[in-house]
């Protein structure tokens, strides 16, 4: 089934999934995998969790052991970056000057962390996207002192919870949201999360705009806010979003719009596909372009992109398949595992049909997220897996509220009656986002 060369640009979850799928489906041609980090492929989610708390060492994050990678006979290029793409001649240009020709290309170059102006001039200011980022952050933490986390999305709140769990630093979260993770989960769930973090000693500066960083002799000393105050900090962690790595595609002819624009099959051009955090593809079920920075999506989309490329090359008997996942992500904070299915962002109504807050550290709740009258997502924490799987099934396709409420009530009734009042619905608060 060999046919020329396939290049996978990106050696993280989506890229490795694509490479493995190509081999498992019988592709035995040249397979070049390009990774800009020198580390062998590794898992990123533990960076803000088990690695930051010290529960794991770096060896446990390896995505595959060397023998597993060797069996796929990859031409694995680590520590080298793709810096250009010539679609006409079908060549990827590497930053060491080499031009790698291809018959098929899968773009899985991921994203990079946002930073703040002037951050590079101050020691003690960190992002957390790579193992090297983690090593630098640990060096700052070893020196002790206070820590400020800028940003209250999943990454920021995971970092805060991991540092608070270490009980070795005073931790402050600074955010322009009114409550933690408001944009993701809505204000009602955000208030609950805020209470949990405060109970663990985390200070929250909400509704605050950061105007810059303060420093002394090249070392960060604080975070300046728009109200004129400065939050003192010996270490600052920036968790303020990310940017897709698409600059190397400038002038290539591909459409770049908040990522690599793709069709329903994850195709960006003939024989060119994108997968993972960098892909902005048309989701047929939701009828709109979607880009999601979640670990499970990277693996699933990498596999689908590989299959579809082989099919287009005529190297696989099955036809191409549209990529229509139920997006999934999780966030671990203290004893909570927050699990979300479907599309939560942009909801204009959030309903919480079940919330047991008897144990403030281990709440149990389920929340549904709707937009324009259609339920598109569900969040659960402390919900048994069998029930959560059934709740996931209710958001596989967008549905009207009346088609969801009855079955959801039946499933949640098996958990017993909540012992404390449910959190108020965001729509009832007039705060739906």
The model's pLDDT over 328-359, given as tens digits with 9 standing for 90+, comes to 999 999 999 999 999 998 899 999 999 998 88
Note the pLDDT tens digit of each residue in 17-28.
999 999 999 999
Asked if 398 and 417 count as a contact pair (C-beta separation under 8 A), the reply is no
Which among 337, 338, 394, 334 is positioned nearest to 370, based on CA atoms? 394
Judged by DSSP in three states, 16 sits in helix
Query: Which structure tokens are listed for 385?
Result: 């897996």
Residue 433 has pLDDT above 50, yes or no: no
- Cα–Cα distance, 283 to 190 (Å, whole number): 28
Residue 432 has pLDDT above 50, yes or no: no
Residue 141 has pLDDT above 60, yes or no: yes
Note the pLDDT tens digit of each residue in 396-405.
999 999 999 9
**pLDDT-derived band at 422, boundaries 50, 70, 90:** low
**pLDDT-derived band at 264, boundaries 50, 70, 90:** very high
Question: What's this model's pTM, rounded to 2 decimal places?
Answer: 0.94
The helix or strand, by DSSP H or E, that contains position 270, with its residue range, turns out to be: none
**pLDDT-derived band at 129, boundaries 50, 70, 90:** very high
Tell me which residue has tokens 């049909």.
353
Average of pLDDT values for 170-189? 96
- Cα–Cα distance, 16 to 305 (Å, whole number): 12
- Cα–Cα distance, 429 to 425 (Å, whole number): 7
pLDDT at site 306: 98
Give 237's contacts (C-beta < 8 A, 6+ positions apart): 126, 127, 128, 137, 147, 148, 149, 150, 156, 159
Note the pLDDT tens digit of each residue in 79-114.
999 999 999 999 999 999 999 999 999 999 999 999
Query: Which structure tokens are listed for 271?
Result: 């024989």
Share of the chain above pLDDT 70, in %: 96
Total H helices, total E strands in the chain: 11, 28
- Cα–Cα distance, 350 to 230 (Å, whole number): 35
Note the pLDDT tens digit of each residue in 235-259.
999 999 999 999 999 999 999 999 9
Residue 206 has pLDDT above 80, yes or no: yes
Residue 429 has pLDDT above 50, yes or no: no
Residue 430 has pLDDT above 50, yes or no: no
- Cα–Cα distance, 162 to 157 (Å, whole number): 8
Task: Give the CA distances from residue 11 to residues 51, 112, 243, 325, in Å, rounded to whole numbers and listed in that order.
Answer: 20, 14, 18, 22
DSSP-derived letter for residue 258 is: S
pLDDT at site 431: 41
Tell me which residue has tokens 């999601």.
292
- Cα–Cα distance, 333 to 311 (Å, whole number): 42
Averaged pLDDT of the chain: 94
In angstroms and rounded to an integer, the radius of gyration of the C-alpha atoms of the chain is: 23
End-to-end CA gap in the chain: 50
* Domains of the chain from N-terminus onward: 5-112+243-313 (3.50.50.60), 115-240 (3.50.50.60), 335-429 (3.30.390.30)
Residue 1 has pLDDT above 50, yes or no: no
Residue 428 has pLDDT above 80, yes or no: no
Largest CA distance in the chain: 66
Residue 425 has pLDDT above 70, yes or no: no
Residue 158 class from Cβ within 10 Å (0-12 exposed, 13-18 middle, 19+ buried)?
buried
Residue 382 has pLDDT above 50, yes or no: yes
Average of pLDDT values for 45-56? 96
Phi then psi for residue 264, to 5 deg, are -65, -15
The 10 Å CB-count burial string (b at 16+, else e) for 88-100 is: eebbbebeeeeeb
pLDDT at site 169: 87
Tell me which residue has tokens 């969040």.
379
Phi then psi for residue 248, to 5 deg, are -65, -10
- Cα–Cα distance, 279 to 276 (Å, whole number): 6
- Cα–Cα distance, 142 to 394 (Å, whole number): 47
């Amino acid at each position: 089934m060999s046919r020329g060369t396939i290049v996978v640009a990106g050696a993280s979850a989506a890229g490795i999934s694509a490479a493995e799928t190509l081999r498992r489906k019988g592709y035995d041609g040249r397979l070049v995998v390009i990774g800009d980090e020198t580390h062998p492929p590794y898992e990123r989610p533990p960076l803000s969790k088990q690695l930051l708390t010290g529960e794991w060492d770096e060896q446990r994050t390896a995505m595959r052991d060397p023998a597993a990678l060797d069996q796929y006979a990859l031409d694995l290029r680590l520590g080298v970056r793709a810096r250009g793409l010539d679609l006409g001649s079908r060549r990827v240009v590497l930053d060491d000057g080499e031009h790698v020709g291809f018959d098929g290309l899968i773009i899985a170059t991921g994203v990079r962390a946002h930073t703040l102006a002037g951050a590079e001039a101050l020691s003690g200011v960190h992002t957390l996207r790579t193992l090297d980022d983690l090593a630098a952050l640990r060096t700052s933490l070893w020196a002790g002192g206070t820590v400020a986390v800028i940003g209250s999305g999943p990454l920021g709140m995971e970092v805060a919870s991991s540092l608070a769990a270490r009980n070795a630093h005073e931790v402050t979260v600074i955010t322009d949201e009114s409550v933690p993770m408001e944009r993701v989960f809505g204000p009602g769930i955000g208030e609950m999360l805020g209470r949990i973090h405060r109970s663990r000693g985390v200070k929250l500066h909400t509704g605050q705009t950061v105007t810059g960083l303060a420093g002394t002799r090249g070392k960060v000393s604080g975070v300046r806010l728009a109200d004129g105050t400065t939050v003192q900090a010996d270490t600052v962690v920036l968790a303020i979003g990310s940017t897709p790595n698409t600059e190397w595609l400038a002038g290539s002819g591909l459409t770049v719009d908040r990522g690599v624009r793709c069709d329903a099959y994850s195709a960006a051009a003939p024989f060119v596909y994108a997968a993972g955090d960098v892909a902005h593809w048309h989701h047929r079920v939701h009828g709109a372009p979607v880009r999601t920075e979640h670990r499970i999506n990277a693996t699933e989309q990498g596999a689908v992109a590989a299959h579809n490329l082989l099919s287009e090359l005529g190297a696989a008997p099955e036809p191409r398949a549209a990529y229509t996942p139920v997006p999934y992500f999780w966030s671990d904070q203290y004893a909570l595992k927050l699990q979300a299915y479907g599309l939560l962002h942009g909801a204009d109504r959030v309903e919480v049909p079940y919330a047991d807050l008897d144990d403030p550290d281990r709440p149990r709740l389920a929340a549904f997220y709707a937009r324009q009258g259609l339920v598109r997502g569900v969040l659960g924490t402390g919900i048994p897996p069998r029930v959560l799987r059934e709740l996931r099934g209710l958001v596989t396709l967008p549905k009207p509220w009346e088609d969801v409420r009855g079955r959801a009530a039946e499933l949640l009734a098996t958990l017993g009656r909540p012992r404390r009042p449910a959190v108020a619905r965001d729509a009832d608060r007039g705060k739906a986002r």
